[in-house]
Amino acid sequence: MHSLLYDVPIAAGVCLRMQSNRSALSVLQPNGRVGVRSQAIEGTSVVREDGARALWAVPQLSSQAVRYLLSQAEAGGSSMRPVSLPSNVRDSRFDRRNTARRLSTRERAEALCRLADAVRRESADLEVMTIILDELETERALASSRAGLVHCAAARTALTLVVASRAAPSSRVHFTGSRFGEWESCGEALEQLTLAALPGLVEELARKRQAIAVVEGWHDVVVASGASGLLAHEAFGHLCEADNIAIGSAAAGRFGDELAPPFVTVVDDGGRGWDGHSDTAVDIDDEGTPCERVVLIDRGRLTGAMHDRASAAACASLATGNARAESYADTPLPRMRNTAILPGMSDPHELVAGIRRGYFIGQVTGGHAELNGDFTFGASSLHEIVDGRIGRMVHDSTVAGNAFDVFSGITGAANNFAWLGNAWCRKQQQVPVGVGGPSVATRMWLGGQQ
């Protein structure tokens, strides 16, 4: 792909982007059949970097598409000049794909059937309802007068197992494992991870049959590691995106304020996150800006905003590499990449032991945030906490709160950490993101049985 951009004249103040998103969804159904749906969205576009956000796009990856779009950019008032290519262009150092032979659709289907058989052998109590293999591969080539030419490519794979108890087939639980890379390189690890989760699924099903309803209201809670990453994403991540700040985000005017205890730090990183283990990789943004770390909350104080070039220019700041677009036909916007609450010092068990009555939130789903700081998401694998111990399972519920109240109310951050895996952000456009964090103790509203 990127070879099409060598030695082309590039307009000063524009970014030429070629992008390919390839996805495949393989679903093993209860009747043993495997359905496969694949999609490829690819094309070429030019984006103005001067804040006008003008975009020209065509659904082709070709030299003809490049020439046409550059002519459109020139007609739009940009002067043309040759791009200066950096020395690292031709080795494609951001290409993170595996070069192993790709498995066929039939081989993928056979792998899912073998996994279903293995689940049945491991646990006679479980009925396999569905297995979902979700694969995503993105490739981007960008050329601009500022950044030169850079080639990026990455993949991630998620495997979801949905099971029911043979004794009560209407009650179901699921496990999702996600890994960076293609199925060919991480499939075996995902299968082993799924099989290792079976004892926990059996126990969860047994608990679920005796689940109680949540007591609606404000409660002390412990949010599990990994799940706390969605808390960071929804609560403060969206508030700190520069385009949201410009239209009245509650973070505006609060930078420098102490909003959380000093043991709380929240970061947004490119690459594969702060520890290099996220399942999502963003090495350079969709305007050609290298990804810089943005510290959103530094030891309790609100400090950082996520910028694209236009928002950075508007407030005399620097672009941070957060301009992201879903496809070649979308205008890049300030978006999160790998957002995480950094580990604290507490023992995870001590966080639970410190709560007399409350809830433990094991898994989270969905999520929505408002500019005033209000947010909500779904909670599953939910358990009551009674006198410092995990108690009965609770029906899936809704969790809500306000970013400033919830973060100022954090009483502990554990020394563990996990990435949630297979996370997406749907702010105007849908892009893959990484979200992670340690176990966190705070106070939130629970209610609304799902």
For 36-75, how does the pLDDT look when each residue is reduced to its tens digit (9 = 90+)? 999 999 999 887 655 455 678 889 888 888 888 877 777 7
| pLDDT for the residue numbered 130 | 96
Mean pLDDT of 265-281: 97
SS (HEC) of the chain? CHHHHCCCEEECCEEEEEEEEEEEEEEECCCCCEEEEEEEEEEEEEEECCCCCCEEEECCCCHHHHHHHHHHHHHCCCCEEECCCCCCCCCCCEECCCCCCCCCHHHHHHHHHHHHHHHHHHCCCEEEEEEEEEEEEEEEEEEECCCEEEEEEEEEEEEEEEEEECCCCCCEEEEEEEEECCHHHHHHHHHHHHHHCHHHHHHHHHHHCCCECCCCEEEEEEECCCHHHHHHHHHHHHHHEHHHHHCCCCCCCCCCCECCCCCCCEEEECECCCCCCCCCCECECCCCCECCCEEEEECCEECCCECCHHHHHHCCCCCCCCEECCCCCCCCEECCCEEEECCCCECHHHHHHCCCEEEEEEEEEEEEECCCCEEEEEEEEEEEEECCEEEEEECCEEEEEEHHHHHHCCCEEECCCEECCCEEECCCCCEEEEEEECCEEEEEEEECCC
Flag whether pLDDT at 141 surpasses 80: yes
On the question of pLDDT at 92 being above 60, the answer is no
Q: Give percent of the chain above pLDDT 90.
A: 69
Q: What is the pLDDT of residue 16?
A: 83
What's the pLDDT score for residue 8? Answer: 67
Domain spans of the chain, in order of start: 2-208, 217-447
pLDDT digits (tens, 9 = 90+) for 307-364: 998 899 888 899 999 999 999 989 889 999 999 999 999 999 999 999 999 999 999 9
* Full-model pTM: 0.91
Q: Is the pLDDT of residue 27 over 60?
A: yes
pLDDT confidence of residue 187 = 94
Q: 106-116 pLDDT, tens per residue?
A: 999 999 999 99
CATH of the structural domain 2-208, one choice from 3.30.2290, 3.40.50, 1.10.3470, 3.40.1000: 3.30.2290
Q: pLDDT at position 440, please?
A: 98
Average pLDDT, the chain: 89
For the ranges 4-18, 195-209, 406-420, the maximum mean pLDDT occurs at 406-420
**What confidence score (pLDDT) does residue 43 get?**
93
Q: What is the pLDDT of residues 371-392, one digit of tens each?
A: 999 999 999 889 999 999 999 9
Looking at residue 125, its pLDDT comes to 84
pLDDT of residue 242: 96
- Predicted confidence at residue 50, as pLDDT, reads 54
Q: What is the structure's pLDDT at 48? A: 67
